[in-house]
Amino acid sequence: MVDYSIKSIGVLTSGGDAPGMNAAIRSVTRAAIFNNMRVFGIYRGYKGLISNEIEEFKTNSVSNIIQQGGTILKTARSAEFMDPEGRKVAFENMQKHGIDALVVIGGDGSLTGASIFGNEYDIPIVGLPGTIDNDLNGTDVTIGYDTALNTIMQSVDKIRDTATSHERLFFIEVMGRNCGFLALNSAIAAGAEAAIIPEISLKKDQLGELIEQGFRKSKNSSIILVTEGEITGGALQLAERVKQEYPQYDVRVSILGHLQRGGSPSAQDRILASRMGIAAIQALLENQRNVMIGIRENEIDYVPFKRAIKKEREISEELREVLLISSI
Amino acid sequence: MVDYSIKSIGVLTSGGDAPGMNAAIRSVTRAAIFNNMRVFGIYRGYKGLISNEIEEFKTNSVSNIIQQGGTILKTARSAEFMDPEGRKVAFENMQKHGIDALVVIGGDGSLTGASIFGNEYDIPIVGLPGTIDNDLNGTDVTIGYDTALNTIMQSVDKIRDTATSHERLFFIEVMGRNCGFLALNSAIAAGAEAAIIPEISLKKDQLGELIEQGFRKSKNSSIILVTEGEITGGALQLAERVKQEYPQYDVRVSILGHLQRGGSPSAQDRILASRMGIAAIQALLENQRNVMIGIRENEIDYVPFKRAIKKEREISEELREVLLISSI
Amino acid sequence: MVDYSIKSIGVLTSGGDAPGMNAAIRSVTRAAIFNNMRVFGIYRGYKGLISNEIEEFKTNSVSNIIQQGGTILKTARSAEFMDPEGRKVAFENMQKHGIDALVVIGGDGSLTGASIFGNEYDIPIVGLPGTIDNDLNGTDVTIGYDTALNTIMQSVDKIRDTATSHERLFFIEVMGRNCGFLALNSAIAAGAEAAIIPEISLKKDQLGELIEQGFRKSKNSSIILVTEGEITGGALQLAERVKQEYPQYDVRVSILGHLQRGGSPSAQDRILASRMGIAAIQALLENQRNVMIGIRENEIDYVPFKRAIKKEREISEELREVLLISSI
Amino acid sequence: MVDYSIKSIGVLTSGGDAPGMNAAIRSVTRAAIFNNMRVFGIYRGYKGLISNEIEEFKTNSVSNIIQQGGTILKTARSAEFMDPEGRKVAFENMQKHGIDALVVIGGDGSLTGASIFGNEYDIPIVGLPGTIDNDLNGTDVTIGYDTALNTIMQSVDKIRDTATSHERLFFIEVMGRNCGFLALNSAIAAGAEAAIIPEISLKKDQLGELIEQGFRKSKNSSIILVTEGEITGGALQLAERVKQEYPQYDVRVSILGHLQRGGSPSAQDRILASRMGIAAIQALLENQRNVMIGIRENEIDYVPFKRAIKKEREISEELREVLLISSI
């Protein structure tokens, strides 16, 4: 009789880093050891799986990391893993170390890779949603999102100090790729006047209205958050437009950039990552595979990879209204 | 024909203050004005309603407060409001100002008062859950809880620096009254070794086991969070017990105290308060009364006061396990 | 006999805002009242002096502002004040309000204006050094510098999380105009690999050496701080050069921008501003004029405007060495 | 000819930990290596020197620690080192590892030990002032003081949120042993109403005056900082007195405790520690011994141990006046 039970797992982080990844690594490692599995940390994502940068982890390999931003396993994007030949080497390295299953922490690209690799070599793989963009399907929230939201909010709080002192109009560009979650929510949290996001196309005459509205409200400054990327055009392009069409405003631009990815994770991200890490091992024990751990209505959920990476999240109408009303 | 529509509302904060109350005041005020109502800020809770400390609010009365801790309306506990005579004066003051309805932001005591007052004088009252203790029923989370959780976690992060440098055992006492939510969740978030909470009685021999476990794990320090109050005995009493029964440990105590109530609110608390404030006005427009605004599964919910203040929240088994496993 | 004593002062903030300006306004106001003077807050710097935006301040006009970034008096640059006609109107407005003397909080441009105005109309004016750039002469440190330094450092700490996770080379651009103080000191504080500053010209072949050095040290990321402006070329231009000459590096740029100006002031800035505000009133009582309050060897000093705005501060050799050695 | 040059040094942290100690360890280590010395990290202060917990450090042994609170070398108090027999073992361990000289980071107790040991065995020892109390002589500031000051200030900022919301009188106890530096300076920085410090004895009738003054100023709350210890009596004892003598006030106490020791060091502490670490190695190269590195007027200074640990620092009259005037 063959023994299908998992004796040894590998854990890796892949794609863009997100605060809370270390809390997830810690929790996965300890839950595996708690369940008598061996754990291997794989460095630099799929790239390290191919180049065999693999090291056994013990309980205290993950001590004192829960509060650290970034990922101690480092992360990378791997072109070789797109290639069947690369994945073959990856699989052989897993066999060498006796790794039976993987926990992959990352965004949609990482989970897509996991899905292909898991099917190809019949490996049980469970994913954890690690991305500040909150753009995965089937989970209310992803690891890193809450920290990034707070980081952006605190930055906008600082910029507002100078914006109100000088009575200026600020365009602040935030991350999110094609997803306006970060921009819309941080606009509400920071008390900004508006958010320009990819999901809602801005009609030609709306920009001026938006700005005038901000100043009309007997306010002496105006802050507009903008999602990065081609769809919105980004903060620089918008500011350029305003400077030409509305020369009366003192316009400034701030591109928050990579500091949004870093920092000690928030309580919510650490708790979320701790819960999800334990759930990932639980899922493997239940013979789950090709699923991402999600959180729905504050309960752990298993989301098939296919559904997780499907782009169908919509921007909440209610939140758009909250921004509109609370900033009058 | 009588016109039952609400033309004017009052807003007050009552009981213990919580970060995010200002964001709620801002949102209630602007949503009311957006819906063509007048708004009156009532100072010092029910006390100020009785002593007539009432002032009309405009849109910019609440400018630049979303990021501030505490409550610009101040708060107090009122013995007079317990008395029918006090409530009569309160009602008369409402009539003088032409206030048709109230939005009350506070914890269970405040909502109990609202319930009595609303029924007595047939006044539409809607409540918002404002308390760091997260001990209200019918809402996944209360305004102020997330900020307090982060404040505690950051304090424990700091204490851990010195705890590990000296290899000590720390008991850290946190707020929560009879509710272990803050202690359990901040223990997970801060990577503490254990949480002693009112919901779970500690058997006589478990304390030593708990501590030894912490040090056995080849860790060089141990941090145990304790909910304040008689049931747990508080951190000082526990430390005293340990010093006598286990003199080998270098025990220290830290009582976080009132700093847990303050600070600029977190993104989650600001967004929650903004959403709930708008929902409160919406509820009044829908002729709701005697309900608290709750949030369930990320959707706004109306919770009858009676259900909201019923003590039936239970500590999650899953979270207790998360703490146990992630701190091995 | 003419009474030359000062009975009434005006206070204004001018030029770029800096954290701690509010603490200075508070301290000036209270020290004046403590010495039985009346105090007038002048809004928007010299611009408001010309447009007569002036309001009497009492003790509690400045309550609860010590912890706030920005300036409650707002600030602006004024072209009219460059003009004798503008200054004439300014003087007339002072007379209307019975203002005998001014306290001006700002950088070199603001103090230059103060110097001209004070001489022209024989007005006692005392300046406070309020600028994050720390580019004034005769004072060890300016109000706002320490907060900006900490803000930059915390931002670089965050960026390092993602830089080390991805093994990247980051150019981070900070403020400072023609002065490398902020860049050099924050590079030391953040543990960056190098600082490119206006005072030290970078020879053609040094950039590559600098970068290679960073990576050679068996470090897996490299962070280089750059002072904004034409002399260094700024972070974007440097990154462009590196991408072409050293395509092997994964280069990223971050321009910290206006968030460097905001935020709650640090302890040092609040204490410095409190001390200097009181010293300004003391100086006026001693019939000083045309001086900036400085701090040298932790003692208050009076610095003639002419000396204060002279550009002669030099970058410390010792600090450059500290960065070099501590980052090997 | 005997070669007296130092080829190998040991570094240790001793006594209470202070933020910035890691930055000092990093800088000492790298400066030594830069000057072609070998470096040994000694764990747990003098205790580890006796129990031989010694490990060679390389450049990257101290990577990524500049931003961490606490001390990676850990710290302890050692009774054995008080004993000549203990010091003999310590010396023998130094010989075993070939350690020629020591850099000791700590407060007055640690430097006293260093002085005795250095004289006894003719070992070159240089000290760095590492203590949050700022109670060493011959240096304007000690490593850890600025961070502790900011930590206290931020905690008081939070407590003020709730103090003003409830209109309460708060006594907040801070560290400092017999030295009022932390209490006085953080009172100024946080905008507190008064500071009760060991250097200034409070006359019987002054307490009431102090409190009434606070409330008289048309302020709705009052915060008084208190240095811990027998001389002041501490916050609890003072509050007890007030409750009995002035029952009209709503008094609360907060004892900040060990969180004052932790946290990521401030920019000033990191820069100070980096400078001092390099200066320590420089001092050894110059054949200095029995000196503490101090900073005076922003220049590095060598302070004989005897002078450094002499208790003669006085509380600045000017600062007491600043608190008095700025809080009217």
Confidence of residue D167 (pLDDT cuts 50, 70, 90): confident
Query: Please, are residues C169 and C206 in contact by the beta-carbon 8 Å criterion?
Result: no
User: How many CB pairs below 8 Å do chains B and D form together?
Assistant: 108
Asked whether the beta carbons of residue D66 and residue C268 sit closer than 8 angstroms, the reply is no
B neighbours by CB contacts (3+ pairs under 8 Å): A, D
Asked whether the beta carbons of residue B166 and residue D74 sit closer than 8 angstroms, the reply is yes
CA distance A206 to D310: 70
Residue with tokens 């002399």: C231
Confidence of residue C167 (pLDDT cuts 50, 70, 90): confident
Confidence of residue A180 (pLDDT cuts 50, 70, 90): very high
Confidence of residue D250 (pLDDT cuts 50, 70, 90): confident
Q: What is the CB neighbour count within 10 angstroms for residue B250?
A: 14
* Phi/psi at D121 (5° precision): -115, 10
Q: Note the pLDDT of residue C205.
A: 66
Q: Note the pLDDT of residue B134.
A: 93
Which of A107-116, A181-190, C58-67, C309-318 is predicted least confidently? C309-318
Whether D59 and D204 share a structural domain:
no
β-sheet bridge partners, residue B294 = B301
Structure letter (DSSP) for residue A64? T
Query: Rg of chain A's alpha carbons, rounded to an integer?
Result: 22
Nearest CA in chain C to D29: C326
Residue D93 lies in a domain: yes
Residue C323 lies in a domain: no
Chain-wide mean pLDDT for chain B?
Answer: 92
Set of chain D residues whose Cβ sits within 8 Å of the Cβ of B255:
255, 257
Nearest CB to A267: which of B186, B219, B270? Answer: B186
pLDDT digits (tens, 9 = 90+) for D123-164: 999 999 999 999 999 999 999 999 999 999 999 999 999 998
CA distance A120 to chain B (A): 32
CA distance B124 to B6: 9
Mean per-residue pLDDT, D50-72: 96
CB proximity D250 to B under 8 Å = no
Q: Give every strand in the sheet of A194-196, ordered side by side.
A: A194-196, A222-227, A169-174, A251-255
Mean per-residue pLDDT, C61-87: 95
Q: Which of D17, D100, D108, D133 is catalytic?
A: D133
Nearest CB to B322: which of A218, A275, A322? Answer: A275
In percent, the amount of chain A with pLDDT more than 90 equals 77
What stretch of H or E contains C226?
Answer: strand C222-227
CA distance C242 to B309: 63
Query: Please, are residues C131 and C39 in contact by the beta-carbon 8 Å criterion?
Result: no
Nearest CB to D185: which of C191, C267, C296? Answer: C267
Set of chain B residues whose Cβ sits within 8 Å of the Cβ of D165:
13, 17, 70-71, 74-75
Helices D21-34 + D267-285 axis angle, to 10: 40
Asked whether the beta carbons of residue B165 and residue D263 sit closer than 8 angstroms, the reply is no
Whether C140 and C281 share a structural domain:
yes
What stretch of H or E contains C117?
Answer: helix C108-121
Nearest CB to D30: which of C157, C186, C325? Answer: C325
Taking 70 as the threshold, does the pLDDT of residue A45 lie above it?
yes
The secondary structure of C20-58 as a DSSP string is: THHHHHHHHHHHHHHTT-EEEEETTHHHHHHTT-EEEE-
In percent, the amount of chain B with pLDDT more than 70 equals 96
Taking 80 as the threshold, does the pLDDT of residue D204 lie above it?
no
CB proximity B15 to D under 8 Å = no
Interface mutation target, options C33, C151, C271, C318, chain D, most CBs of D under 10 Å: C271
* Short-list D103, D118, D88, CA closest to D39: D103
* Short-list A292, A220, A264, CA closest to A64: A264
Q: Note the pLDDT of residue C232.
A: 82
Which of B257-261, B324-328, C6-10 is predicted least confidently? B324-328
Tally of domains in chain B: 2
More confident residue, D46 or A311: D46
Asked whether the beta carbons of residue B162 and residue D261 sit closer than 8 angstroms, the reply is yes
Residue A81 lies in a domain: yes
Interface mutation target, options B152, B271, B313, chain A, most CBs of A under 10 Å: B271
Asked whether the beta carbons of residue A161 and residue C75 sit closer than 8 angstroms, the reply is no
Q: Note the pLDDT of residue D216.
A: 64
Mean per-residue pLDDT, C118-136: 96
Whether D132 and D230 share a structural domain:
no
CA distance D54 to D56: 7
Please give the residue range of the domain that contains residue D226. 145-262
Whether A91 and A171 share a structural domain:
no
Q: Which of C133, C135, C146, C269 is catalytic?
A: C133
The length of chain C in residues reads 328
Alpha carbons within 13 angstroms on the beta-carbon side of residue C9 total: 32
Residue B242 lies in a domain: yes
Whether C85 and C129 share a structural domain:
yes
Whether C140 and C269 share a structural domain:
yes
CA distance C286 to chain A (A): 32
Confidence of residue D44 (pLDDT cuts 50, 70, 90): very high
Confidence of residue B71 (pLDDT cuts 50, 70, 90): very high
CA distance D93 to chain B (A): 22
Whether B214 and B129 share a structural domain:
no
Confidence of residue A260 (pLDDT cuts 50, 70, 90): very high
Taking 70 as the threshold, does the pLDDT of residue A161 lie above it?
yes
CA distance A82 to C279: 68
Interface mutation target, options C132, C258, C260, chain A, most CBs of A under 10 Å: C258
Nearest CB to C325: which of D34, D267, D328? Answer: D34
CA distance C187 to C174: 10
Structure letter (DSSP) for residue A200? S
Residue B316 lies in a domain: no
Q: What is the CB neighbour count within 10 angstroms for residue B247?
A: 9
Nearest CA in chain D to B171: D258
More confident residue, D211 or D249: D249
Q: Note the pLDDT of residue B262.
A: 95
Interface mutation target, options C161, C222, C225, chain A, most CBs of A under 10 Å: C161
Whether A49 and A36 share a structural domain:
yes
Q: Note the pLDDT of residue D258.
A: 95
Whether C54 and C133 share a structural domain:
yes
CA distance C114 to C123: 9
Residue B2 lies in a domain: no
Q: How far is CA A45 from CA A13, A52, B254, in A?
A: 5, 11, 41
* Short-list D10, D13, D3, CA closest to D99: D10
Residues of A designated catalytic: 133
Nearest CB to C268: which of D164, D218, D268? Answer: D268
Nearest CB to B263: which of D17, D161, D255? Answer: D161
Residue C1 lies in a domain: no
* Short-list A125, A84, A86, A85, CA closest to A106: A125
CA distance D238 to chain B (A): 17
More confident residue, B219 or A91: A91
CB proximity A267 to B under 8 Å = yes
Helix/strand/coil for D20? coil
pLDDT digits (tens, 9 = 90+) for B187-196: 999 999 999 9
pLDDT digits (tens, 9 = 90+) for D90-135: 999 999 999 999 999 999 999 999 999 999 999 999 999 999 999 9
Nearest CB to B217: which of A59, A217, A274? Answer: A59
Whether C198 and C256 share a structural domain:
yes
Structure letter (DSSP) for residue C249? S
C neighbours by CB contacts (3+ pairs under 8 Å): A, D
Residues of B designated catalytic: 133
Say how far residue A155 (Cα) sits from the centre of its chain: 18
Mean per-residue pLDDT, A88-116: 97
Whether B186 and B233 share a structural domain:
yes
Q: Note the pLDDT of residue D219.
A: 62
pLDDT digits (tens, 9 = 90+) for C238-275: 999 888 988 888 899 999 999 999 999 999 999 999 99
Taking 90 as the threshold, does the pLDDT of residue B24 lie above it?
yes
**Which residue type occupies B120?**
E
Which of B258-262, C1-5, C185-189, C192-196 is predicted least confidently? C1-5
* Exposed/middle/buried for residue D95 (C-beta within 10 Å: 0-12, 13-18, 19+): exposed
CB proximity B216 to A under 8 Å = no
CA distance A89 to chain B (A): 32
CB proximity B217 to A under 8 Å = yes
Taking 70 as the threshold, does the pLDDT of residue D215 lie above it?
no
Taking 60 as the threshold, does the pLDDT of residue B218 lie above it?
no
Query: Please, are residues C117 and C296 in contact by the beta-carbon 8 Å criterion?
Result: no
Residue with tokens 């025990």: B251
CA distance D86 to chain C (A): 34
Set of chain B residues whose Cβ sits within 8 Å of the Cβ of A270:
153, 188-191
Q: Give every strand in the sheet of B251-255, ordered side by side.
A: B194-196, B222-227, B169-174, B251-255
Residue where a domain stops, chosen among B240, B262, B284: B262
Nearest CA in chain B to D261: B162
CB proximity B150 to A under 8 Å = yes
* Short-list D141, D147, D93, CA closest to D292: D141
β-sheet bridge partners, residue A208 = none
Confidence of residue C204 (pLDDT cuts 50, 70, 90): low
Confidence of residue B170 (pLDDT cuts 50, 70, 90): very high
In percent, the amount of chain C with pLDDT more than 70 equals 96
Residue D47 lies in a domain: yes
* Phi/psi at B213 (5° precision): -55, -50
Look up the CATH number of the domain holding residue A196: 3.40.50.460
Interface mutation target, options B162, B252, B255, B261, chain D, most CBs of D under 10 Å: B162
pLDDT digits (tens, 9 = 90+) for D282-313: 999 999 999 999 999 889 999 999 999 987 67
Chain-wide mean pLDDT for chain D?
Answer: 92
Q: What is the CB neighbour count within 10 angstroms for residue D316?
A: 15
Whether B45 and B117 share a structural domain:
yes
Confidence of residue A232 (pLDDT cuts 50, 70, 90): confident
Q: Note the pLDDT of residue D93.
A: 98
